[in-house]
């Protein structure tokens, strides 16, 4: 039976040397396993891994190849640029209202920024990996680091969805309508407050925040599965990205309709897009591995 943190340790072993594992990562994993399982515990371990990783990436004495450095730099730069651009694009419709002389509150775009941040992160992670790694050689170390960083992005998205976005939504409603006693709906409730409701809409909103928080990691796995294919071309990458984003939200909101109609459990509808992407990634990985085995077998037979 696997203990909490075993998978994180296995991932860390791919990234760090023995000295770093013994002195930094293993003590953090041991603390996680001694304490009750919690999101804060996992976040602390990921924070330690990210700090060690940043030191390793920036220190020249570690044996990173030039291809690995370029692949990692392009993926991270692409993800950061796309995330910023998407966030600004989502905020653009509200900026004129904030700058208008008669604006009720010039902070309106800031109140709504957290609402679009998880979507921007998910798009940024996916496009950054797809276009940053497309056609380039990269090692297991790069894949491991990108998955660690995608995990950190998922944590940021989850924290935003659980607490920051509801506060921003409530501040926006207060600035526009100005009624302190206004009844709050699901988007204005924190994760702990949503837990107390049992209606399908609130239950779906509760579980969808967890699912959307995991979306950057799930999309990162899918993107890495795509770019490992040697036949991938830039136009194919673009079409794939668009299909994934559109399909993800079609499945999500289609599942919401089914949950509200009582046809499927709300938690199943919320997690359906992530489960679909995981299964699709596994199928593509299996197909790619089979193709490589067939090529190796063909090559051996040709030599014989």
State whether 49 and 88 are in the same domain. no
Considering 35, 59, 83, which residue would you say is the last residue of a domain? 59
Domain span at 258:
69-303
Whether 101 maps to a domain, the answer reads yes
Coil vs helix vs strand at 77 = helix
**Are 92 and 229 part of one and the same domain?**
yes
Q: Is residue 268 part of a domain?
A: yes
| Same domain (yes/no): 80, 195 | yes
Read off the DSSP letter of residue 195. Answer: T
Count up the domains in the chain and report the number: 2
Same domain, 267 and 145: yes
CA distance linking residue 75 with residue 219, whole number of Å: 14
97 and 179 belong to one structural domain: yes
**Is there a single domain that holds both residue 49 and residue 172?**
no
Q: Within this chain, do residues 80 and 193 fall inside the same structural domain, yes or no?
A: yes
* In a domain? residue 184: yes
Q: With the C-alpha atoms ordered 229, 135, 52, 117, is the resulting torsion angle positive or negative?
A: negative
9 and 146 housed in the same domain: no
Residue 64 lies in a domain: no
Residue-level pLDDT, tens digit, the chain, 304 residues: 577 778 778 877 877 778 888 888 888 888 878 877 666 677 777 777 777 766 665 554 456 778 888 888 899 999 999 999 999 898 888 777 666 666 656 677 788 889 999 999 999 999 999 888 877 777 888 888 898 889 889 999 999 999 999 988 888 888 777 666 667 788 889 888 898 898 999 999 999 999 999 999 999 999 999 887 655 566 677 788 888 999 998 999 999 999 999 899 999 999 999 999 999 999 988 888 888 787 777 766 666 5
CA dist 274 and 7 (Å) reads: 19
Instruction: Out of 23, 41, 59, pick the residue that ends a domain.
Output: 59
- The pTM for the full model equals 0.78
Interacting residues of 44 by C-beta distance below 8 A, sequence separation 6+:
28, 31, 32
Same domain, 29 and 100: no
């Amino acid at each position: 039976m696997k203990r909490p943190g075993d998978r994180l340790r296995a991932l860390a072993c791919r990234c760090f040397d023995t000295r770093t594992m013994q002195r930094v990562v293993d003590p953090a994993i041991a603390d996680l396993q001694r304490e009750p399982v919690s999101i804060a515990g996992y976040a602390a371990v990921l924070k330690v891994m990210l700090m060690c990783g940043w030191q390793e990436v920036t220190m020249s004495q570690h044996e990173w190849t030039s291809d690995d450095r370029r692949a990692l730099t392009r993926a991270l730069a692409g993800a950061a640029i796309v995330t910023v651009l998407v966030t600004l694009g989502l905020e653009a419709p509200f900026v004129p209202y904030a700058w208008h002389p008669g604006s009720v509150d010039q902070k309106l775009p800031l109140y709504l920024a957290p609402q679009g941040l998880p979507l921007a992160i998910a798009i940024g992670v996916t496009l950054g990996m797809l276009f940053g790694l497309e056609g380039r050689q990269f090692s297991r170390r790069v894949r491991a680091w990108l998955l660690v960083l995608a995990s950190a992005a998922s944590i940021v998205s989850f924290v935003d969805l659980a607490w920051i976005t509801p506060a921003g939504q409530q501040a926006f409603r207060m600035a526009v309508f100005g009624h302190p006693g206004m009844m709050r709906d699901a988007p204005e409730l924190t994760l702990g407050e949503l837990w107390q409701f049992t209606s399908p809409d609130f239950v779906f909103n509760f579980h969808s925040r967890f699912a959307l928080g995991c979306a950057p990691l799930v999309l990162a796995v899918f993107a890495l599965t795509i770019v490992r294919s040697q036949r991938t071309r830039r136009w194919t990458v673009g079409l794939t990205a668009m299909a994934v984003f559109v399909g993800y939200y079609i499945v999500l909101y289609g599942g919401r309709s089914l949950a509200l109609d009582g046809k499927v459990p709300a938690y199943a509808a919320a997690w359906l897009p992530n489960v679909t992407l995981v299964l699709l990634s596994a199928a593509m990985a299996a197909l790619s591995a089979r193709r490589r085995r067939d090529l190796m077998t063909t090559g051996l037979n040709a030599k014989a």
